[in-house]
Amino acid sequence: MTHAALPSSTEAVSGMFLVDKPGGMTSHDVVARIRRKFGFSRVGHGGTLDPMATGVLPVFVGKSTRLAEVIHGYDKTYRFEVLFGLTTDTGDAEGKILFRKDFDRVDLSLLATVLPTFLGERFQKPPMYSAVKKNGVPLYQLARKGIEIERDARRIQVYSLDLLEVSADGKKALFRLKCSKGTYVRTIAEEIGEAIGLGAHVTLLEREGFGHFLIEDAISLTDLMNFDNEDGILKHLWTTSEVLSYLPEIRILDAHLSEIHRGAVIPGFQIYRTSGLFNLSELVRISDRKGKCIAVGKASVSSLELDRLPKGLPVVRVDRLVGGGL
């Protein structure tokens, strides 16, 4: 991973820390600690994690806070542990017990039959204990007052749901879930428990992947806090280009960089080169000739059409400037 040099002021720094969030903290707590430690005025995170959850949390600083919206749609991978025979009002170990059922051991053959039914596109209602807002009020605030309201189901996608292991006493099971944005693991766990007639709640939750961001590439919050400004930023700050490396790229000729602004249309004659394939309306990263990402845009054509199009026709429209862009 390459790194930008550290300016004299953190005001000029942009990028992302990939943090392995510890349990017992909110995502906002992590942001607040990084702000205090390094003196950033602009800090934000992508993909909220429950306080009990651990794992991948992208934390953006400077102008790169704009990237939080860009990565919002990334798919996620979770590893989670479920305790059967016990349901709670929050769907995890921090809630009040609602139901208890005695049983010997979880039926593995029944579990193997149930898990495939979760795959594919489905609808899921956000739990009351969630940050989803209704008329501007987070649902968890209503839930704490004992108020439950109707929630609209959202379309989600479950790509895989695998059983990893079962505890020696047969009461717990460990799973790995790959899913689309907006999927609540606690709800999946509750539905698994309901499907096998036992009830269940989550006792452990780790986000292993967030798009192409993986847990093995993340730094623990404790380790990050132990670095001084220079070491911490130079060793662990991802550049905008690295954050968006999964996107196909369009590099712009130097003479036209001053014309890049939100809403600008980039015609073919301004392009130095492209890499990667893209279809109409897909996101692309827009870089200077040397590969420094300056913006994100939406393709106006397919990459397969580029060679056949007149050079004056639009190829991409700038959606937003990012990083240290113009």
| Angle, helices 229-236/27-38, rounded to nearest 10 degrees | 130
Q: What count of other Cβ atoms lies within 10 Å of the Cβ of residue 121? A: 9
Strand partners, 15: 61
Q: Specify the 3-state DSSP secondary structure of 10.
A: helix
Contact between residue 179 and residue 159 where contact means Cβ atoms under 8 Å apart: yes
Q: Is 50 marked active-site?
A: yes
Query: How far apart are alpha carbons 186 and 140 in whole angstroms?
Result: 14
Residue 181: C-alpha distances to residues 48, 77, 89 (Å):
11, 10, 23
Out of 20, 50, 89, 92, the active site residue is 50
Q: What angle do CA 77, 246, 34 make, to 5 degrees?
A: 65
Place of tokens 């979880």: 106
Catalytic residue numbers? 50
